[in-house]
């Protein structure tokens, strides 16, 4: 009864108050109700959780309040707990709990509404239907889209920009003035060049550079210096590492085994080149998502690279578990990894948070997530070719083809003679043939009749016996019921082959029986004559080939049969849910054998999963690839999937067919007669081969003759064909081996099902691939995955996030703190911009200036703000203790890589060449950007100084201060060694100690030592020398101690 | 000191974590979770990690039915296994006996733990994992997430409670006898997105240099001379930066590092431990792996005495039946021989640790956890091994307010799936945090736009196993 009584009480109370105006009610409906419904009802609803005894779904609930008293006192914002809670006045009562703080505008709305008297028409709690309408995703999306970062970029008001004032300084100065602060004066030149050198190049300035800049009288000395630094390759090495943080660069996949990502380093080199070439940012974004799909890729003629395609390697920097028994879960997880990186890095959005439900705070739906999931799963992990289009070298290929035709003609002539000479050679075999004849135990061997006859010389019937056995074997194969195929792909047929996807210059089409490959070195001419099928090496074993079957679901228990030949480490495997690694239940076939054979894999285990089949050359597996395998090949003629336990497809000893055909009905009683049959069969086959109408059986037969040495195949016995072979080999040698890099291959466009509550075992309705509902919900109707469409949407002119996010990233790295302090998150859980107008001005400026990163960096570092001294001006500590307003330059610790590079550089050990190539260990005197990033074994020195763990985007590194850092600089043997190297160089200077000391300070800190420092250093040297003199045994020099001490100074790792 | 000063200083090393008391004060809590006052039953955790997956069927979960059905095919649905070499039903080769007043059954693998400590143990026989593979299983068990990048439980606990020792890290991983990090690598002990001072320090108990770079490369006088020079110069630099807090903290950091150089060797040298104590643990054992593990156990007690919050121990490789250095319990073959060797290695040292802690009055405030990343299958792999089984396995807790002599939950008659009171990793850590006075739902950290917890969005405290 109590609630009813309360309701009556409420009505009577309200009737005393003036009725709210329509405008006030309108304010409630548009500004207040949606917030209450969407952000509060979940925990504070009548009949719901009613946490703290508070219900916010009706007027009386607000007025009565909960355990802490009334939530709202109409007309009195200051006394209203609700307002205190949403303003986070106290940490004990900060609402919404575990959520983002409400936007300042919303909080202001509440304040205004309470001042209005908290007009609220809700006499009774809303019905479920009402709540559903108020919290409907469309309603939520509408409200959330109002978040600042989703608004168009505002044009900055630069009215009143004083002449000669940098627009950035102008936009910063307003807030400084407002609190009564003035900017610190410009830093001295020595400080400035050190700051600039680390910011742009990640290295300390050389003493000569400092001297030149400090004494440069030109008015544009600084601008010139900026240009010089930006133009040198060291810039790309520095900023590539920033970029690598964003895309969680790694050289391995992590987990058990920590498998390497073959060729990952090519992506790092790509970044360095791209940044040094100042490729526009929007172009880089397109390349990172779909560089392989661009109509006009960026071509690097000097290196022969399709630069654009290299960008997609970032999609492959995912973590991969080891042999997961739930393969779909693994696919969901690593696709989530891709979505997480792409959305945070390029949009500052946490799309991954919408995997199991709509985003909790941002206008991102689970449908958005699923749309992206469809895009990224419409690809297959791969090693892709990143060669220039001209690497296809059609002229060389045409020449190779023509030479092969000529070679076939020439060989056929010789082989006709060999065929005719067969009886004689078999009757009086050469020693090598004799060996083969006596070893032909296998009834499937071409020469088996001679072996059989030799075993039973007393029985002349041995010969017809063998032929009869072959005949019945063949007949049986012919009669055997065809396997109950679940699926069969006949790779000799274009129809079947075209349902597969292929990549690379090899294995591009089925070839007819009788195709052959030419040996590229050694004494042989032909390496094999093949039955019909698809072969990767008909022109060159350098050619790469990737064959991917369509994906299909295993609805029962099956066996997979592949009729394959290959050498040099080619791979065949079935791929479960795109998982690219090898593991216990992820077997891989290494194709071994130039003669084709049936290879079997059991698929029982994977019942219920989606698989495809992948056959590749040795260097072309996504993860298992052997990057050093230059030459390999495979040939595939048939793929059959049978029900588990059904009869296997049989090898019908086809090679016997030509013999049996030649024998016809003639009785063959003796070996001599059999030899005659062989000659007939061989002559027929060679003739057919010459005319390119070989049958499979004839091809196999010829191949066997070739291997038995019954057809001549050695260069030294084929003088006539030698020029052709030489020409072929010369041309083949000019073919470039493909350059490979991690990437993805398109596998068609597949919209994905929405996973209910993120549970991949509960696929729901299919969601079209699309960008984001907040910007454009239109489905992608692309025939490809949609990666290019997504990239274009991300950098489309109307889309405000990409440019804002990127200028903020650059700002963060230059000013040590972003205008948005959370560079990876521009959503509601991120920070608000400290200078929104400036952020938008920069975003617009960036786009207007061709999205040039160099121009943007130049624009920022030429501000007075950036060049300011780091001394806080009067009043700054009190009025702006965190220096958000940038009244002075921040003091900052160097990043891990800059510290390591500075150690090597100052010691004189740092080597800039090669400025590319496979990764190295931390001991190498190379820049840190070239160090291997092995996920389970990260470089301990870099890790100590906060180099990121490559698990997700890191737009802002931690700057911690742990004893491991001090211990490393104190005791790490490498640091000591570098100090000793430095000492040796210093001691070799033909000068006095004071000058040596000064040289060391110049090198380490880019400045002269003070008189005091010089004296202290001198004293220190003396003390160390005497300490060292008494040590047993006498050890390193005091100069090394001084070098080591300078490494230990905070000035070495902190920038002013 | 302003709030900003506090914020900055708290990002410094654990050497300065004496500040933790201050930071719990109102007004400074933004950097630390706001925690309700709660009675903490435990102060420290010792995590005995049985890497590779110890078999519950051969240790703490006897299944007589397996004896009856030995050699028969496994009935019912068999889940996907890691190696898909599933054999027949494989009864335990180890006999079980009841121990203590509670009568908890323990197999012949762990006679000393049984005899000395059965009544201290709360055995959970209904543990589950989401993962069937080592590296992801290890990550899941340590961080609540199956991949790298998340804070380890030890890091969370240090973040929640701070360290009590100025010269030692609050989260220590012990290794000896060539032990290495489990599959997944040292990322298992990472601070993830938490501040770096919460990451584990790996202490190699029997190495010449037990902590990386801890050994000075020169005589103390030389190093001190260098540090004095550095200190003077740093003072000037600090002045020049207006006493920037990061710079000042980095200066102090050298003092901590210097002290650690002395503190760590003293600790590892086991100085002051009587011969009787060393013998109790098995440091004198002729089996080198056992002696090595005994050293870790004794060191764990010393660390706990010194206020180190979280100590994780690492089993030593016996190289049997699929067990390798990262996963020594992983007997895909030769289970009997391999588990016997592994158990011989750890049984006496663990029993000694529990006994010693009890005798010194430390067991009440030290929560000891014994667990592997999953159990093993009731059917064989090949003829004499067992494959991974995440669907039901056993772990135990002792000390720290745990109700000793408890059996909790159950697997089916085959020991294959949990049938009663399933327990997740989230529940386990929720319980551990609870005993430390931390609410697992409020121990959160904002990263990448999301408030993360050790227990993700799950976890229930297992009140039934608590005293």
DSSP B204-238: ETTSSSSSTT-S-SS-HHHHHHHHHHHHHHHHHHH
Nearest to A324 among B133, B149, B242 (CB): B133
In this prediction, residue A1040 carries a pLDDT of 95
- Tell me how close the Cα of A1024 comes to any Cα of chain B, in angstroms: 7
Angle CA A236–A238–A240, to nearest 5: 60
| B211 to A940: CB separation less than 8 angstroms, yes or no | no
pLDDT range class, residue A668, cuts 50, 70, 90: confident
Q: How many CB atoms lie under 10 A from the CB of residue A533?
A: 26
Q: CA-CA distance, A381 to A315, in Å (whole number)?
A: 9
- Mutation target vs A (from B147, B180, B258; most A CBs, 10 A cutoff): B147
Helix or strand holding residue A272 (H, E): helix A265-276
| B148 to A1050: CB separation less than 8 angstroms, yes or no | no
Residue A1038 phi/psi, 5-degree rounding, is: -65, -25
Q: Between A724 and A464, where is the model more confident?
A: A724
In this prediction, residue A1032 carries a pLDDT of 57
Q: CA-CA distance, A620 to A634, in Å (whole number)?
A: 12
Q: How many CB atoms lie under 10 A from the CB of residue A914?
A: 11
| A353 to B218: CB separation less than 8 angstroms, yes or no | no
Q: Write down the domain spans for chain B.
A: 43-212+274-465
B225 touches chain A (CB under 8 A): yes
Averaged pLDDT for residues A142-168 = 92
Angle CA B111–B112–B114, to nearest 5: 65
- Which chain B residue shows the shortest CA-CA distance from A892? B246
* Closest C-alpha among B293, B234, B328, B320 to residue A1016: B234
Return the CA Rg of chain B: 23
Percent of chain B that is helix, strand, coil (3-state, to 5): 35, 20, 45
Pick the CATH number of B43-212+274-465 from 3.40.50.300, 1.10.580.10, 1.20.140.90, 3.40.720.10: 3.40.720.10
pLDDT at B22 over 90: no
- Furthest C-alpha separation in chain B: 80
- Three-state SS annotation for A662-709: HHCCCCCCCHHHHHHHHHHHHHHHHHHHHCCCCCHHHHHHHHHHHHCC
Q: Which stretches of B306-414 are DSSP H helices?
A: 335-359
In this prediction, residue A696 carries a pLDDT of 93
**A333 interaction partners in chain B (CB closer than 8 Å):** 146-147
- Furthest C-alpha separation in chain A: 129
Q: Any idea which residue has 């890589």 for tokens? A: A897
Averaged pLDDT for residues A79-98 = 86
B25 touches chain A (CB under 8 A): no
- Mutation target vs B (from A147, A149, A248, A255; most B CBs, 10 A cutoff): A255
Asked if residues A524 and A714 have their Cβ atoms less than 8 Å apart, the reply is: yes
Averaged pLDDT for residues B162-189 = 91
Q: CA-CA distance, A28 to A550, in Å (whole number)?
A: 56
Domains of chain A: 2-135 (no CATH), 167-229+814-893 (no CATH), 394-476+654-734 (no CATH), 485-643 (2.60.120), 971-1055 (no CATH)
Q: CA-CA distance, A35 to A146, in Å (whole number)?
A: 13
Joined tokens for residue B422 = 């399933």
**A1054 interaction partners in chain B (CB closer than 8 Å):** 237, 241, 244, 246-247, 250
pLDDT range class, residue B106, cuts 50, 70, 90: very high
* Closest C-alpha among A279, A280, A270 to residue A305: A270
Render A431-481 in DSSP notation, one character per residue. HHHHHHHHH--STTSTTHHHHHHHH-TT-TTHHHHHHHHHHHHHHHHHHSP
CA torsion, ordered A572, A574, A579, A581, to nearest 10 deg? -40
| A882 to B146: CB separation less than 8 angstroms, yes or no | no
Interface of B with A in 445-464 (CB under 8 A): 446, 448-451
Tens digits of residue pLDDT in A107-125: 999 999 999 999 999 999 9
pLDDT at A1010 over 90: yes
Q: CA-CA distance, A198 to A208, in Å (whole number)?
A: 16
| A323 to B133: CB separation less than 8 angstroms, yes or no | yes
**A1028 interaction partners in chain B (CB closer than 8 Å):** 222
Q: CA-CA distance, A608 to B349, in Å (whole number)?
A: 47
**A350 interaction partners in chain B (CB closer than 8 Å):** 448-450
In this prediction, residue A479 carries a pLDDT of 59
B67 touches chain A (CB under 8 A): no
Q: CA-CA distance, A179 to B233, in Å (whole number)?
A: 35
Joined tokens for residue A979 = 């100090």
Helix or strand holding residue A565 (H, E): strand A558-567
Helix or strand holding residue A746 (H, E): strand A740-746
Residue A554's SS3 state is coil
Q: CA-CA distance, A308 to A310, in Å (whole number)?
A: 5
Averaged pLDDT for residues A892-911 = 98
- Mutation target vs B (from A757, A966, A1036; most B CBs, 10 A cutoff): A966
pLDDT at B153 over 50: yes
**Cα–chain-centroid distance for residue B13?**
22
Tens digits of residue pLDDT in B408-458: 999 999 999 999 999 999 999 999 999 999 999 999 998 877 889 999 999
Averaged pLDDT for residues A575-586 = 96
Nearest to B12 among A584, A961, A1035 (CB): A961
Instruction: Say what percent of chain A tops pLDDT 90.
Output: 78
- Which chain A residue shows the shortest CA-CA distance from B387? A584
A538 touches chain B (CB under 8 A): no
Ramachandran class of A635: left when φ > 0, alpha when ψ lies in -120 to 50, beta otherwise: beta
Please, what is the angle between helix B335-359 and helix B288-305, to 10°? 30
Q: CB-hemisphere CA count at 13 Å for A673?
A: 16
A716 touches chain B (CB under 8 A): no
Instruction: Say what percent of chain A tops pLDDT 70.
Output: 96
A1014 touches chain B (CB under 8 A): no
B263 touches chain A (CB under 8 A): no
* Closest C-alpha among A583, A591, A586 to residue A567: A591
pLDDT at B385 over 90: yes
Q: CA-CA distance, A329 to A771, in Å (whole number)?
A: 24
pLDDT at A441 over 90: no
B80 touches chain A (CB under 8 A): yes
């Amino acid at each position: 009864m109590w609630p009813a009584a309360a309701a009556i009480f409420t009505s009577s109370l309200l009737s005393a108050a003036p009725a709210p105006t329509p405008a006030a009610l309108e304010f409630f409906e548009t500004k207040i109700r949606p917030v209450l419904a969407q952000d509060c009802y979940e925990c504070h609803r009548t009949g719901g959780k009613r946490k703290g005894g508070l219900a916010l779904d009706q007027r009386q609930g607000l007025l009565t309040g909960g355990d802490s008293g009334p939530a709202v006192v109409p007309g009195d914002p200051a006394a209203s707990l609700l307002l205190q809670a949403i303003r986070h006045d106290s940490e004990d009562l900060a609402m919404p709990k575990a959520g983002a703080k409400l936007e300042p505008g919303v909080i202001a709305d509440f304040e205004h509404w309470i001042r209005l008297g908290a007009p609220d028409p809700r006499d009774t709690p809303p019905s479920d239907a009402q709540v559903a309408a108020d919290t409907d995703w469309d309603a939520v999306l509408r409200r959330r889209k109002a978040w600042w970062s989703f608004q168009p970029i505002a044009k900055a008001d630069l009215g009143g920009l004083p002449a000669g004032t940098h627009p950035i300084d102008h936009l910063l100065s307003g807030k400084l003035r407002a609190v009564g602060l003035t900017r610190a004066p410009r830093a001295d030149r020595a400080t400035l060049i050190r700051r600039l050198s680390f910011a742009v190049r990640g290295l300390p300035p050389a003493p000569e550079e400092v001297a030149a800049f400090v004494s440069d009288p030109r008015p544009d000395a600084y601008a010139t210096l900026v240009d010089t630094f930006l133009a040198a390759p060291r810039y790309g090495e520095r900023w590539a590492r920033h970029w690598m943080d964003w895309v969680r660069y790694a050289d391995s996949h992590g987990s058990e085994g920590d498998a390497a990502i073959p060729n990952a380093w090519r992506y790092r080199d790509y970044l360095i080149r791209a940044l040094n070439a100042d490729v526009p940012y929007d172009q880089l974004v397109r390349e990172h998502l779909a560089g392989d799909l661009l109509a006009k890729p960026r071509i690097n003629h000097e290196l022969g690279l399709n630069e654009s395609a290299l960008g997609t390697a970032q999609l492959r920097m995912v973590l991969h578990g080891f042999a997961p028994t739930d393969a779909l879960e693994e696919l969901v997880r690593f696709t989530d990894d891709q979505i997480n990186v792409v959305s945070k890095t390029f949009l500052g959005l946490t799309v991954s948070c919408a995997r199991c439900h709509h985003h909790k705070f941002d206008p991102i739906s689970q449908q958005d997530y699923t749309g992206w999931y469809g895009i990224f799963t419409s690809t297959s992990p791969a090693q892709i070719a990143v060669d220039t289009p001209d690497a296809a070298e059609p002229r060389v290929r045409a020449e190779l083809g023509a030479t092969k035709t000529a070679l076939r003609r020439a060989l056929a002539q010789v082989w006709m003679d060999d065929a005719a000479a067969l009886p004689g050679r078999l009757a009086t075999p050469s020693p090598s043939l004799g060996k083969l004849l006596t070893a032909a135990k296998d009834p499937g061997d071409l020469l088996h009749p001679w072996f059989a006859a030799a075993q039973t010389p007393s029985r002349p019937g041995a010969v017809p016996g063998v032929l009869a056995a072959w005949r019945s074997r063949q007949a049986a194969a012919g009669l055997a019921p065809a396997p109950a195929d679940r699926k069969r792909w006949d790779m000799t047929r274009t129809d079947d082959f075209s349902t597969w996807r292929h990549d690379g210059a090899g294995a591009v089409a089925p070839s007819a029986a009788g195709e052959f490959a030419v040996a590229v070195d050694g004494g042989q001419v032909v390496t094999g004559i093949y039955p019909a099928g698809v072969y990767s090496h008909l022109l060159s074993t350098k050619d790469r080939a990737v064959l991917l079957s369509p994906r299909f679901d295993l609805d029962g228990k099956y066996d997979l049969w592949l009729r394959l030949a290959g050498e040099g480490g080619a791979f065949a495997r079935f791929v479960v849910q795109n998982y690219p690694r090898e593991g216990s239940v992820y077997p891989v076939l290494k194709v071994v054998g130039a003669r084709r054979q049936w290879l079997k894999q059991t698929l029982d285990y994977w019942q219920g999963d989606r698989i495809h089949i992948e056959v590749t050359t040795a260097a072309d597996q996504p993860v298992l690839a052997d990057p050093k395998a230059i030459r390999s090949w495979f040939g595939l003629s048939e793929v059959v999937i049978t029900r588990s336990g059904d009869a296997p497809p049989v090898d019908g000893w086809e090679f016997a067919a030509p013999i049996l055909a030649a024998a016809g009905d003639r009785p063959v009683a003796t070996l001599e007669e059999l030899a005659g049959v062989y000659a007939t069969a061989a002559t027929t086959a060679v003739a057919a081969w010459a005319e390119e109408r070989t049958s499979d059986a004839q091809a196999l037969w010829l191949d066997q003759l070739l291997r038995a040495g019954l057809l001549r195949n050695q260069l030294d016995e084929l003088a006539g064909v030698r020029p052709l072979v030489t020409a072929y080999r010369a041309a083949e040698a000019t073919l470039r081996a493909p350059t490979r890099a991690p990437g993805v291959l398109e596998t068609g466009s597949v919209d994905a099902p929405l996973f209910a509550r993120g549970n991949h075992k509960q696929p729901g309705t299919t969601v079209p691939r699309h960008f984001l509902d907040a910007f454009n919900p239109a489905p992608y109707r692309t025939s490809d995955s949609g990666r290019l469409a997504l990239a274009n949407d991300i950098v489309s002119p109307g889309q405000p996030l990409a440019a804002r996010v990127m200028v903020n990233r650059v700002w963060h790295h230059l000013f040590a703190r972003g205008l948005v302090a959370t560079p990876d998150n521009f959503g509601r859980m991120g920070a608000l911009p400290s200078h929104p107008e400036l952020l938008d001005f920069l975003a617009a400026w960036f786009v207007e200036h061709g999205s040039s990163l160099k121009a943007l960096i130049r624009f920022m570092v030429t501000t007075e703000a950036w060049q300011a001294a780091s001394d806080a001006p009067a009043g700054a500590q009190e009025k702006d203790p965190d220096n958000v307003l940038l009244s002075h330059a921040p003091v900052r610790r160097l990043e891990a890589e800059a510290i390591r590079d500075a150690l090597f550089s100052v010691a004189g050990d740092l080597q800039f060449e090669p400025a590319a190539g496979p990764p190295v260990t931390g001991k190498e005197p190379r820049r840190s950007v070239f160090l291997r990033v092995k996920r389970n074994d990260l470089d301990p020195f870099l890790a100590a100084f906060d180099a990121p763990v490559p698990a997700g985007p890191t737009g802002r590194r931690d700057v911690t201060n742990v004893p491991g850092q001090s211990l490393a600089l104190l005791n790490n043997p490498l640091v000591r060694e570098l100090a000793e190297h430095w000492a040796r160089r210093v001691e070799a200077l033909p000068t006095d100690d004071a000058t040596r000391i000064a040289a060391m300070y110049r090198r380490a800190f880019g400045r002269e030592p003070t008189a005091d420092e010089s004296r202290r250093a001198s004293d220190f040297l003396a003390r160390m020398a005497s300490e060292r003199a008494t040590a047993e045994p006498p050890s390193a020099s005091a100069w090394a101690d001084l070098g080591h001490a300078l490494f230990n100074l905070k000035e070495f790792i902190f920038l002013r | 000191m302003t709030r900003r000063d506090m914020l900055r200083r708290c990002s410094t090393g654990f050497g300065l974590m004496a500040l933790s008391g201050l930071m719990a004060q109102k007004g400074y809590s933004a950097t630390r979770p706001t925690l309700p006052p709660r009675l903490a039953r435990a102060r420290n955790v010792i995590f005995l990690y049985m890497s590779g997956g110890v078999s519950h069927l051969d240790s703490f979960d006897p299944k007589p039915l397996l004896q009856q059905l030995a050699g028969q095919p496994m009935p019912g649905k068999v889940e996907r296994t890691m190696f898909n070499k599933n054999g027949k039903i494989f009864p335990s080769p180890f006999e079980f006996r009841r121990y203590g007043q509670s009568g908890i059954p323990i197999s012949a693998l762990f006679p000393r733990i049984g005899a000395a400590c059965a009544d201290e143990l709360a055995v959970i026989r209904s543990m589950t994992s989401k993962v069937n593979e080592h590296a992801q299983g290890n990550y899941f068990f340590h961080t609540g997430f199956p991949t790298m990048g998340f804070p380890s439980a030890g890091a969370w606990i240090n973040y929640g409670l701070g360290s009590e020792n100025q010269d030692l890290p609050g989260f220590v991983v012990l290794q000896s006898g060539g032990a290495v990090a489990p599959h997944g690598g040292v990322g298992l002990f990472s601070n993830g997105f938490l501040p770096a001072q919460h990451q584990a320090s790996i202490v190699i108990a029997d190495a010449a240099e037990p902590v990386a770079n801890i050994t000075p490369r020169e005589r103390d006088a030389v190093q001190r001379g260098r540090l004095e020079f550095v200190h003077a110069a740093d003072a000037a630099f600090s002045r020049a930066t207006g006493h920037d807090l990061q710079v000042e903290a980095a200066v102090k950091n050298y003092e901590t590092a210097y002290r650690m150089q002395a503190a760590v060797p003293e600790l590892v040298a086991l100085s002051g431990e009587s011969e009787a104590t060393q013998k109790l643990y098995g440091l004198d054992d002729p089996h080198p792996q056992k002696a090595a593990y005994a050293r870790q156990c004794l060191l764990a007690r010393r660390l706990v005495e010194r206020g180190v919050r979280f100590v994780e121990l690492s089993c030593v490789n016996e190289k049997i039946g699929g067990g390798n250095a990262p996963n020594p319990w992983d007997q895909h073959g030769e289970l009997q021989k391999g588990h016997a060797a592994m158990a011989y290695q750890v049984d006496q040292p663990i029993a000694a640790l529990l006994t010693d802690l009890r005798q010194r009055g430390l067991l009440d405030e030290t929560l000891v956890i014994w667990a592997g990343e999953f159990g093993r299958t009731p059917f064989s792999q090949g003829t004499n091994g067992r494959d991974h089984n995440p669907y039901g396995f056993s772990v135990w807790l002792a000390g720290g307010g745990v109700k000793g002599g408890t059996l909790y939950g159950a697997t089916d008659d085959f020991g294959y799936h949990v049938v009663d009171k399933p327990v997740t990793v989230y529940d386990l850590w929720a319980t551990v945090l609870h005993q430390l006075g931390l609410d697992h739902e409020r121990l959160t950290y904002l990263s990448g736009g999301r408030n993360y917890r050790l227990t993700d969005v799950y976890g229930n405290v297992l009140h039934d196993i608590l005293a």
